[in-house]
């Protein structure tokens, strides 16, 4: 069976796997973004706290994804939980780092001006600092998403959702007539999803970043 015949015969299962893959990455990115920006807000004013946050989240990336999921299985079991936890942890570094860099890069004169007109610290953060830091934060989200698209495939090791199941089935049946088709279908599916997500982020950037502060 050639590749296109395989796709035609398995398109419903592939679409279901693609949806699960995209859904898992999207949900984990939402959680990672909320946690990452919060960590950035809490640490950017202090040099040592910002360095500690960056060091801690970067240390997580040194753990191989297969080992991370393997360590989580005895704690939370198989399926979705280890997938969500591992993807969220892996997604933190670019967001935390870019949030800290973006917030520290806000022009102090703008903050002083906001303070001068009576804005509270919370109002300055939400109405001045975070909007100006949004471009680098969005860049961090884009980088994290691209990483998680690939890492999410490993979740199949723990019976997790997504296109990784297609890849693992192909690897497990090497030598069979559809093994290469399975691996190729899963891999191409992940690449297509990554491109679609990135295109969505470009659109979000155009809609949310004023032209005057676009890089």
Residue 19's pLDDT band (cuts 50, 70, 90): very high
First-last CA distance in the chain: 48
Q: Alpha-carbon distance 60 to 7, whole Å?
A: 36
Q: Each residue of 41-61: pLDDT tens digit?
A: 999 999 999 999 999 999 999
Do residues 79 and 158 lie in contact, with contact meaning Cβ atoms separated by under 8 Å?
Answer: yes
* Beta carbons within 10 angstroms of residue 15's beta carbon: 11
How confident is the model over 121-166, as pLDDT tens digits?
888 998 899 999 999 999 999 999 999 999 999 888 877 788 998 9
The pTM for the full model equals 0.89
Q: What is the CATH number for 195?
A: 1.10.3720.10
How confident is the model over 79-135, as pLDDT tens digits?
Answer: 788 889 999 999 999 999 999 999 999 988 888 898 889 888 888 998 899 999 999
Q: Is the pLDDT assigned to residue 215 strictly greater than 60?
A: no
CB atoms within 10 A of CB 76: 15
Spell out the SS3 assignment of 74-126. Answer: HHHCCCHHHHHHHHHHHCHHHHHHHHHHHHHCCCHHHHHHHHHCCCCHHHHHH
Measured over the CA atoms of residue 154, residue 158, residue 163 and residue 164, the dihedral's sign is positive
Q: What angle, 0 to 180 degrees and rounded to 10, lies between the N-to-C axes of helices 179-208 and 3-43?
A: 40
DSSP H helices in the chain: 3-43, 47-60, 65-76, 80-90, 92-104, 108-116, 121-124, 130-151, 164-172, 179-208
Tokens of residue 159, six digits: 């019976």
CA–CA gap between residue 172 and residue 21 (Å, rounded): 20
Domain limits for position 89: 3-213
Distance separating alpha carbons of residues 165 and 117, to the nearest angstrom: 57
Structural domains counted in the chain: 1
pLDDT computed for residue 174 by the predictor: 80
Of 66, 91, 93, 90, give the one whose Cα is nearest residue 160. Answer: 66
Task: Give the count of beta carbons closer than 10 Å to the beta carbon of residue 40.
Answer: 26
């Amino acid at each position: 069976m050639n590749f296109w015949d395989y796709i035609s015969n398995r398109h419903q299962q592939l679409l279901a796997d693609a949806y699960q893959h995209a859904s898992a990455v999207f949900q984990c990115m939402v959680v990672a973004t909320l946690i990452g920006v919060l960590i950035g807000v809490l640490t950017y004013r202090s040099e040592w706290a910002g360095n500690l946050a960056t060091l801690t989240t970067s240390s997580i990336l040194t753990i191989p994804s297969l080992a991370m999921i393997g360590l989580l299985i005895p704690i939370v079991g198989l399926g979705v939980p280890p997938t969500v936890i591992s993807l969220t942890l892996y997604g933190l570094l670019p967001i935390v780092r870019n949030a800290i860099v973006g917030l520290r890069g806000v022009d102090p004169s703008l903050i002083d001006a906001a303070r001068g007109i009576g804005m509270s610290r919370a109002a300055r953060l939400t109405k001045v600092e975070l909007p100006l830091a949004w471009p680098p934060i969005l860049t961090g989200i884009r980088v994290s998403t691209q990483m998680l698209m690939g890492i999410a495939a490993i979740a199949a090791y723990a019976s997790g959702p997504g296109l990784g199941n297609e890849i693992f089935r192909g690897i497990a049946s090497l030598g069979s007539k559809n093994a290469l088709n399975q691996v190729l279908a899963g891999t191409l599916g992940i690449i297509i999803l990554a491109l679609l997500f990135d295109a969505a982020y470009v659109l979000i950037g155009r809609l949310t970043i004023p032209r005057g502060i676009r890089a």
